[in-house]
Chains A and B, each alone.
Chain A
Amino acid sequence: SQQGEEDPQALSIQEGENATMNCSYKTSINNLQWYRQNSGRGLVHLILIRSNEREKHSGRLRVTLDTSKKSSSLLITASRAADTASYFCATDAGNQFYFGTGTSLTVIP
């Protein structure tokens, strides 16, 4: 079963706006990662945040982690049409990796 649940399921914004997507999970984790997927094929790793970190930045990406609420958020600033994709959170809880259900992001030029 999948551990992560993402919200919203779908998000449509204008180019230049910020996009925020959220992920909730159920059990203790070692780290949480965000991946991007185009056209239902291979996933690309975006960013990892460890359980002892609260916030992390990478370029236009900002990730937060609240272990007390078992939730994470991914913020993409100044969105571009090329950011259109599905975004998944994934939790590493030891020997198992669980992906969320994903947020489908559409950035309108």
Chain B
Amino acid sequence: GAGVSQTPSNKVTEKGKYVELRCDPISGHTALYWYRQSLGQGPEFLIYFQGTGAADDSGLPNDRFFAVRPEGSVSTLKIQRTERGDSAVYLCASSPFRGADTQYFGPGTRLTVL
């Protein structure tokens, strides 16, 4: 596609529920990143994929968070047993390869946990 797309753009859920957030990177980009941004803060690194594998998942806050990229393209961020503190904008970015000059960001998914 022309750019990184993320769906849904907004997600409202109740505490304790499971959510999936989808990222569709730019075609051909092998590197994919997930970030979380709370209000008034900068994006916080969560996980980085190189191809299908998670090359670095050290930013995931706990084991309720999990991400996959089974075919090396679309990625899904999964959050189990959501908590109110998970409310944030979840940003996805891709780049042609690890170490490329630019990361291209999607518009984000705003997650609200009631």
Interface residues of A (CB under 8 A from B): 2, 4, 30-31, 33, 35, 40-45, 48, 88, 90, 92, 95-102
Contacts and interface: CB of A to CB of B under 8 A. Distances in A.
B104 A45 contact: yes
Interface string B79-114: 000000000010101000001011111111000000
Given A42-B108, A43-B43, A99-B42, 13 more contacts: A2-B41, A33-B102, A35-B105, A40-B108, A42-B107, A43-B91, A43-B103, A45-B104, A88-B42, A90-B42, A92-B99, A96-B56, A99-B44
B45 A41 contact: no
If over half of A's interface residues share one DSSP class (helix, strand or loop), that class is named, otherwise mixed; here it is: strand
Contact of B37 (A4, A40, A96, A97): A40
B89 to A, nearest CB: 6
Range class of the B interface residue count:
20 to 34
Contact of B43 (A30, A33, A44, A88): A88
B97 to A, nearest CB: 13
B55 interface: yes
A96 B42 contact: no
Contacts of A2: 41-42, 44
Interface string B31-56: 00101010101111100100000011
Nearest to A101: B42
Contacts of B99: 30, 92
A48 B89 contact: no
Contacts of A35: 105
26 contacts: A2-B42, A2-B44, A4-B42, A40-B37, A40-B39, A40-B89, A41-B107, A41-B108, A42-B91, A42-B105, A43-B43, A45-B101, A45-B102, A45-B103, A92-B99, A95-B48, A95-B55, A95-B56, A96-B45, A96-B58, A96-B59, A97-B33, A97-B48, A99-B35, A99-B42, A99-B43
